[in-house]
Structure 1
Amino acid sequence: METESGLQWSPAEFNTIVVSDSVLKNARGRRTEYELIPLRSGVARHTELFSRNDFWITRAKPDELLAVHLPNYARGESVAGEDIAVWYTGSLRHEDHMRDEDRDAVPVLWVGFELRPRNLFDATPLFGKDAR
């Protein structure tokens, strides 16, 4: 991805986002990356514009902090060689016809994500620095 944008996740394809730095490499010369993996079974689309995409990639700016403004933050600026912000849109849902006011506990369906590093370390810490 070369410019700021929103991306949609496909539960049927189970696609992920891989973020890497063109400069940061481990001792073996492999690029350090992070893979963002959604942990959910579907997608939620609501009326708010920021919820129309599951991921947003924007240039990192200290004054851009509110998810509700994501469509305005993603102005198509280049992200190549820049510090970026990766936004993940997750939802939660109460079970139908269950309200906090009516019960002590309300079942909620949660979503989340896994952030998996790749090539972060020069060697495995379990076997020492000379392990291959």
Structure 2
Amino acid sequence: MPLGLRVHHGERDAAIRLLMGRSTGSFSRTSRSCVFDRASRQDAQNLVEALRERLFRIARKPVSQRQVEDILGITSRERIRWGKDGRLPLSGTSRIRKGTTGISLWTYPGDAIEQIAANPAVIRRWRDEDEATTAIGLAAIIV
């Protein structure tokens, strides 16, 4: 299952319940199944297509900062540094407003985060590069 569908599981499950509930088939909440009679074949195909479209959109939704940190096992400092220098791809920002104030948060493409998570050597390499850069910087300060 794509990362986007795992991360946005609440939205995924709600979309499935909504679309199946609206269909002409018999919907069983306990088994998450929808049964159609033979005469409703087109209705079943329409449901499948609607589910495919909705789930694809949910899977493509960006991933939040906290989710990236949890998925990759990184700190917020690493996420910020790697985002600024381009190693960690950004997909845009999300604006959260509370009253008259608001904040903008970076968002990340789920497919790129999934690829990085599948290859932990990338994170190790980035940490090694950062450590080497820090050591060189400290040596320059000491001299």
TM-score scaled by length of structure 2: 0.18
Higher-Rg member (1/2) = 2
Which protein, 1 or 2, shows the higher relative CO under an 8 Å CA cutoff with sep ≥ 6? 1
TM-score, normalising length: structure 1:
0.19
